A and B are shown apart, each in its own frame.
Chain A
């Protein structure tokens, strides 16, 4: 492409941008708004995912050992547990440590401790955490069959419920993102269709005097890219402000909720949104042009 031609395309797209400034602003506002909404959903889904990951990583099995084991037997159980698939970490708690922990928890109600009469009814135990939380159920069943093990516990009902919910949230989130991307594409291509419609006469004349299709397409493509770029920037800016505000607000009121930290997550999300908005702008303008190119 000649430099002069490129300059022509750029000046044409900028001119059309200014000439239809009202429409351009409307397009940018639409792009910005829909991408902002898309961005909110993306951050929501990412945070839900993060939250769920967090919950899942906290799922663990407590393995209570029989009371009369030798140190060797206890060590051997630990060794076998470590070799089970998907086990991340095991932690041993002996009877005395368990008692200390109980005392600490119950220090406001000394009556309960007194009722034990100085005896320690608590078993020694292993706490198992997992790299893959789905392995919890299977592992619990295996461990319960060890002769040294009194019983193994995890929040069965709760964990299964949790997995059902998180699966729904993940797939629902993905479906929502796809839906919103398509909706945004639709809105943008419709908005650019207005620009194209306003210039259909020009396009017709260009076709009649023998301009090539790409020559006609380029200025619209650039305009679409520009609209997408500016709209995407505004959406990014708004999303940053929004996320920062929400992060601060949640930290103040619901401090226990884990949130994805702004860096690098928001920069990635912002970058993705910007790329999406430019691609959508370019595709949208090309789609809208198609009808009027058929002269």
Chain B
């Protein structure tokens, strides 16, 4: 699913965000990426979605070599991955249903398919009753569910989450994690960047720890780690 070979990323100011990173993630895995702020976690996500290009090494997602992809093919790469952000990034003037439908409209899905699939996905994340609510009338947890629904509505093979519980209280976070678990059980690979020690320890999944741009730990059924 994801294959990084000897990947380094230097930014223009000379700082190295990733330093000779190699890692492999199989289809259907649930993986946490942990580490302090500025360790290079966000850069990792940006390399997968072709928002940044590696300075050296190769990045393969879904059998596509991302670093060699032509610009015009990038949208098609992204249609096979869903991304969830810490700040939800919903459109404030669209309802929950419209926000999810938006992701299908912009890749030119037939309207009949949109209506049906949006309902199914909202149901899956537990928001069937709030389809017509605007984001401002939803709680933080509910907004994040809308964002998750939007990320999976195009049936991506890979779901990337960047601190998805960073703005949520512990109880809500647990509910959100359950949703991710459910999606993972349905076959979608999940890659989650997080600071949330409690969640990582509770979930008991594979943990990759990055410190100063290097992978220092990669263990199955891991915990967050002992530093703080």
Contacts and interface: CB of A to CB of B under 8 A. Distances in A.
Given A2-B108, A5-B108, A8-B105, A211 B75 contact: yes
Interface string B149-174: 01000100000000000000000000
B83 interface: yes
Nearest to A209: B103
Which secondary structure characterizes the binding site on chain A?
A: helix
Given A209-B79, A210-B154, A212-B75, A201 B106 contact: no
B105 A210 contact: no
B43 to A, nearest CB: 15
A283 interface: no
A55 interface: no
Contacts of B78: 207-210
Interface string A171-207: 0000000000000000000000000000001101111
A263 B49 CA distance: 59
A8 B102 CA distance: 11
Contact of B106 (A2, A215, A295): A215
Contact of A210 (B51, B107, B110): B107
A208 B83 contact: yes
B114 to A, nearest CB: 11
Nearest to B160: A208
A4 B109 CA distance: 10
A210 B89 contact: no
Interface string B92-104: 0100000000110
B82 to A, nearest CB: 8
Contacts of B83: 208
A2 B109 CA distance: 11
> What class of interface size applies to chain A in its complex with B?
20 to 34
Interface in B110-161: 110-111, 150, 154
By CB atoms of chain A within 10 A, which of B82, B103, B150 has the most?
A: B103
Contacts of B49: 208
B154 A201 contact: no
B10 interface: no
B89 A201 contact: yes
Contacts of A211: 75, 106-107
A191 B75 CA distance: 28
By CB atoms of chain B within 10 A, which of A202, A205, A212 has the most?
A: A205
A19 interface: yes
A210 B75 contact: yes
Contacts of B103: 205, 209
A215 B79 contact: no
A196 to B, nearest CB: 15
Given A208-B78, A210-B79, A202 B91 contact: yes
Interface in B47-63: 49, 51
B106 A209 contact: yes
B77 interface: yes
A264 B102 CA distance: 49
By CB atoms of chain A within 10 A, which of B75, B82, B83 has the most?
A: B75
Contacts of A206: 102, 106
A198 to B, nearest CB: 11
Nearest to A205: B89
B154 A209 contact: yes
Given A8-B105, A215-B106, A205 B75 contact: no
Contacts of A202: 91
A202 B103 CA distance: 10
Question: Shortest 10 CB-CB distances between A and B: which pairs?
Answer: A210-B79, A210-B78, A211-B106, A209-B103, A210-B75, A212-B75, A206-B106, A208-B83, A210-B107, A5-B108
6 contacts: A19-B93, A205-B102, A208-B78, A209-B82, A209-B106, A209-B107
Interface of B: 49, 51, 72, 75-79, 82-83, 89, 91, 93, 102-103, 105-108, 110-111, 150, 154
Given A2-B108, A19-B93, A205-B103, 5 more contacts: A204-B89, A209-B79, A211-B75, A212-B72, A215-B108
Interface of A: 2, 4-5, 8, 19, 201-202, 204-213, 215-216, 295
